[in-house]
Structure 1
Amino acid sequence: MATQADYYEVLGAARGSSDAELKKAYRKKAMQYHPDRNPGDETAEQKFKEINEAYDVLKDPQKRAAYDQYGHAAFEGGMGGGGGAGFGGFGAGAGGLGDIFDQMFGDMMGGRRSGGGRRTGADIQVEVELTLTEAYSGVQKSIDVQTRVSCESCHGSGSADTSGSQTCATCHGAGKVRAQQGFFLVERPCPTCHGSGRTVRNPCKTCHGSGTEAKTKTLQVDIPAGVEDGTRIRMSGQGEAGGEGVPPGDLYIHVSVASHQIFQREGANVYCRVPLRMTQAALGTEIEVPVIDGTRSRVRIPAGTQTGETFRLRGKGFSVLRSTARGDMYIQVSVETPQHLSKRQKELLEEFEQEAGEDHAKASPENSGFFAKVRDFFDGR
């Protein structure tokens, strides 16, 4: 233990790191050196064990405090054999450190356990970007997934011949080993069988006994109509293969919906900003607007329409997932002030201004009302 590397250096974390920072550093290192990602690499396997040992100590506030004060000497006192009896209820299946490790680490790296305690292959997460119109109508997407599949050479058995597998001699089939560290009994996945409880007598040369090999798999994914940005879709059994007798993990598809140049979405409703010429808003008009489903709709704009007024088209929005309901489409009006006027246009506007005369308050009530309040403000001072 005297020559053992500093636990913080092993994780690549600073001594003052928070619990969240330690966990993040641990996950990054564990993913880098996990045996499933480095098959046959003994150096990576040893590094992986060191990472687990370091995190087992530093994630526990009491053990971390002892380590910060005394270093590795805080845990000297003999190392128990794998599978020996311990104290404090930390035995296999006792709901102790091993179970906590399974819940946190298994979900990240593979070897995940289902609700009934059954081991499965690793889950995979991919992101799919959709256009807004694809999210509206639903679409089938073809995605390429980097994964691990059942080894073709050994058909997933991990064995080069018919000798098959045998009970792991290190953990005696438990898939876990326990080690005494000072006053603590720490439980970890077995370094020999990586938690499976069995080892292959004559490992397959292609997969090195894991029963799986890396491969790019193409899948067809049905994205339902009305899906929202950030939605996660689960495809059961489409994750990484887990080897002989171990069911595959799941594939999780994270949906990202790109912005649109015309439409904006809020829940099931769609918004479209439509600029109107000043004359259209003043005199009233009828306009044709696009609808998210690819059709067009006509909207009547009454005379005197102001910027910010909204017109609703019922049932022209998105469908609501797992429901027959539909959202609406809202046309938001913006009255545009004319620019780059010709001489004649300026003359006409000046005539309009003069013609309004005393009727300004009637033609522009909001404008007149505001400046009336301004006069009252200054008069009051």
Structure 2
Amino acid sequence: MGVDYYDILKLTRSATDADIKKNYRKLSLKYHPDRNPGDQDASDKFKQCAEAYDVLSDPRKRATYDQFGEEGLKNGVPQGSGEAGAWTQGYTFHGNSEKVFRDFFGGDNPFQEFYDRVDGDLSMGFGGLQGRGRKKQDPPIERDLVLSLEEVFHGCTKKMKITRRVMNEDGHTSSIREKILTITVKKGWKPGTKITFPEEGDQGPNNVPADIVFIVKDKPHPRFRRQGINLIHTAKVPLGKSLTGCTVEIITLDERVLHIPINDIIKPGYTKIVPGEGMPISADPKKKGDLVIEFDIEFPTSLTPDRKDLIKKALLN
């Protein structure tokens, strides 16, 4: 079959795109001429790896190669039926193995990966100069992801628009572009939960872009606040009902109406717990925390003499 591109990259024919990239990355670093000065065998293998990657990383070239071998790939294959049918254009490797290498690693400094492991050993850098050209990553960029309790209760999808500087194809100039990042909010995510988008910050010729990190923050809610996996609700109760009993009506985050009977005397610090009516637990959304009802006793601003007498008789006798 001629040249075996799979063997050159130490792959099987069932290799995935990720396998192809992984092995080319490893072997191109291993055989790069800057790491093997004067070694013609390494230089030849570097070129072979570049051609093999150029073919196998392209779905059309790979499909032709898999079916017709090197000869069919490079000479072309029939597109139609019979001798008069059209033939595909044959493949010729452009011969620039350094371009394949630079395009693969990106940027105008392909040697940013000095410290990658090659054959299990830590590479000391091209030409023996440890760390030269190694890019440093910018610090993470943190942004608040403000969510309503309903969004965390049900789960949702948030699309966040960012503006960042992106390097142009020439590797030297840049432009400002917008990008939409999609966040799938899981039920029960707690405040402080971090969602990281690796290397989505500004690009530059001599830096690794910063990670963008979104941090969950609760939006104030008119009826509830969170405390761990529990929901806290403050019910306003007139003084008379706090002493004689009442029913508290609460609209839940999923729009149900709860009628909670209160038969105890409501004293300062008294709470009523309703099991299973809190926030979903992110690890197991079928389970929920509790609803904790706190009370704000409303005292009358004034009393008539008759009412004062009635209260005295009821409470002091």
TM-score (structure 2 length as normaliser) = 0.51
Map of 2:150 onto structure 1: 133
Task: Say which of 92, 101, 119 aligns to 2:130.
Answer: 92
Instruction: Name the SS of the counterpart of 2:192 in structure 1.
Output: coil
Partner residue of 1:269?
230
Task: Name the SS of the counterpart of 2:152 in structure 1.
Answer: helix
Could you give the per-residue CA deviations for residues 306-332 of structure 1, whole angstroms, max 9, x where no partner exists?
232111111111112223432111011
Write the distance in 2 (CA, Å) between the matches of 1:356 and 1:221: 58
How many Å separate the matches in 2 of 1:318 and 1:307?
A: 26
Distance 1:149 1:258 in 2: 32
Distance 1:127 1:303, change over 3 A: closer
- In the TM superposition, what is the alpha-carbon distance from 1:280 to its structure 2 partner? 1.0
- Work out whether residues 262 and 272 of structure 1, in 8 Å CA contact, stay in contact via their aligned partners in 2: yes
Preserved contact between residue 138 and residue 209 of structure 2 (Cα < 8 Å)? no
Q: Where does residue 285 of structure 1 map in the other structure?
A: 246
Structure 2 residue 293 is matched with structure 1 residue 331: yes
Select 1:352's aligned residue among 300, 311, 316.
Answer: 311
The answer to whether the 8 A contact 1:124-1:240 is kept is no
CA distance in 1: counterparts of 2:179 and 2:157, whole angstroms: 16
3-state SS of the aligned residue for 1:286? Answer: strand
1:250-273 Cα shifts (integer Å, max 9, x gaps): 432222222223212111111111
SS of residue paired to 1:147: strand
**Does structure 2 conserve the Cα–Cα contact (< 8 Å) formed by 1:148 and 1:241?**
yes
User: 1:145, CA displacement in angstroms?
Assistant: 0.6
Q: Would the aligned equivalents of 1:292 and 1:317 in 2 still touch at CA under 8 Å? A: no
User: Could you say what secondary structure the match of 1:349 adopts?
Assistant: helix
C-alpha contact 1:132 1:258 (8 A) present in aligned 2: yes
Q: Distance in 2 between matches of 1:333 and 1:280?
A: 12
For 2:159, the aligned partner's letter is S
Q: Tell me the amino acid that sits aligned with residue 285 of structure 1.
A: C
SS of the aligned residue for 1:351 comes to helix
Separation (CA, whole Å) in 2 of partners of 1:351 and 1:252: 63
Spell out the pairing of 1:13-28 with structure 2 (5 A cutoff).
none
Q: Deviations over 1:339-373 (max 9, x none)?
A: 133x3xx412313303544x4xxxxxxxxxxxxxx
- 1:353 partner letter: K
- CA separation in 2, counterparts of 1:355 and 1:272? 31
What amino acid maps onto 2:259 in structure 1?
R
Residues 171-193 of structure 1: CA deviation (Å, up to 9, x unaligned): xxxxxxxxxxxxxxxxxxxxxxx
Query: What fraction of aligned residue pairs are identical, expressed as a percent?
Result: 22
Task: Give the root-mean-square deviation of aligned CA atoms.
Answer: 3.4
Whether 2:251 is the aligned partner of 1:320: answer no
Structure 1 residues 323 and 242: alpha-carbon distance in aligned structure 2, compared to 1, 3 A threshold: farther
CA distance in 1, matches of 2:273, 2:314: 35
Contact 2:235 2:248 in 1 (8 A): no
Q: 1:141 to 1:356 in 2, by over 3 A?
A: closer
Partner residue of 2:137 out of 88, 107, 127: 107
- 1:237 positional shift: 6.0
Residue equivalent to 2:256: 295
What letter is aligned with 2:217?
S
What is the match of residue 212 of structure 2? 251
- Structure 1 334/249 Cα, relative in aligned 2: closer, same or farther at 3 Å? closer
1:379 corresponds to which residue? none
- Paired residue secondary structure (2:277): coil
Match of 2:163 in 1: 146
Stretches of structure 1 lacking an aligned partner (at least 5 in a row): 1-82, 86-90, 110-122, 159-208, 360-381
For 1:255 and 1:313, locate their aligned partners in 2 and report how far apart those are by CA, in whole Å: 26
**Contact 1:124–1:147 under 8 Å retained in 2:** no
